[in-house]
Amino acid sequence: MIEIGKTIIKFPPLIEGVLIKRYKRFLADIELDDGEVVTAHCANTGPMKGVLWPGRRVRLKYSPSPKRKLDWSWEQAEVPSHNENKKCWVGINTSLPNKLIKHLIEANCLERQFGQISSIKPEVVYGLERKSRIDLLLYPSIQNEDSRKIFVEVKNTTWCEDSLALFPDTVTTRGQKHLKELMSVYPDSRAVLIPCISRSDIELFAPGEIADPEYGRLFREALTKGVEVIPCAFGFFIDHITWEGTRPLQNSREK
């Protein structure tokens, strides 16, 4: 098991620069510290509320390949933090949260919540019309008291108000659908939503109903129908990511 504050993933040091602009959803122009301006792929195509700050520092991964249109990928953004006027690095790559949560489960960091897990399958078809894919499908070990399969939906969470993390940061019909799909597998299986909080300066999680009121309504309905919510927080650094533990849940932003 990985202890709180310890590294869960290491990687070659990222390269820093300053964000000039994000545009066409997938692209960002960034000035590196040596003055070179590069265009990076931006995996987060949403509004990036609270983390899109032109003029602030960002971190990029350089991975040239004949199979890639762009050599650079935008990975992290520096943002103001509520914590004593400090700054915080936030992970903005939406392809990373599933990997982080899978690492957590494999390292038994969520054993208290899930018990022992024998295997994990990603992107398994499921749902009311069999047209959705669950992020992670967990198969419990035979020694678990609860033998039900566990359907896990992961949501990258970067937006916050002070120390309160919020998801979503815009209207998400896809996210609404995922809540309905999770409700449909219960009680035959366990249904779990994991907000992957990609920043360390967070104390609580709540649904971002100010951005999507219908998501907030469905979120609370899902809780009453057996869906579990486990907010998990991480710290982002230039060459590694740390496990910062779970966070308490508020079922409404208003509380």
Q: Each residue of 45-71: pLDDT tens digit? A: 899 999 999 999 999 999 998 888 999
Name the percent of the chain lying above pLDDT 90: 91
pLDDT at residue 237 above 80? yes
Structure token digits, residue 125: 């078809």
Please state the separation of Cα 92 from the chain's center in Å. 9
State the chain's mean pLDDT as an integer: 95
Q: What is the reported pLDDT for 251?
A: 82
What is the predicted pLDDT for the residue at 175? 97
Residue 255 has pLDDT above 60, yes or no: no
β-sheet bridge partners, residue 76: 59, 91
pLDDT at residue 253, rounded to an integer: 67
Write down the pLDDT at residue 81.
87
pLDDT at 165: 97
Q: CB–CB of 166/206 below 8 Å?
A: yes
Q: Is the pLDDT of residue 74 over 90?
A: yes
Average of per-residue pLDDT across 7-34: 97
* pLDDT above 70 coverage of the chain, percent: 98
Burial class (CB in 10 A: 0-12, 13-18, 19+), 21: exposed
User: To which residue do tokens 């799909």 refer?
Assistant: 181
In this prediction the pTM is 0.95
Of 184 and 253, which is predicted with more confidence? 184
Segment 88-143, tens digit of pLDDT: 999 999 999 999 999 999 999 999 999 999 999 999 999 888 889 999 999 999 99
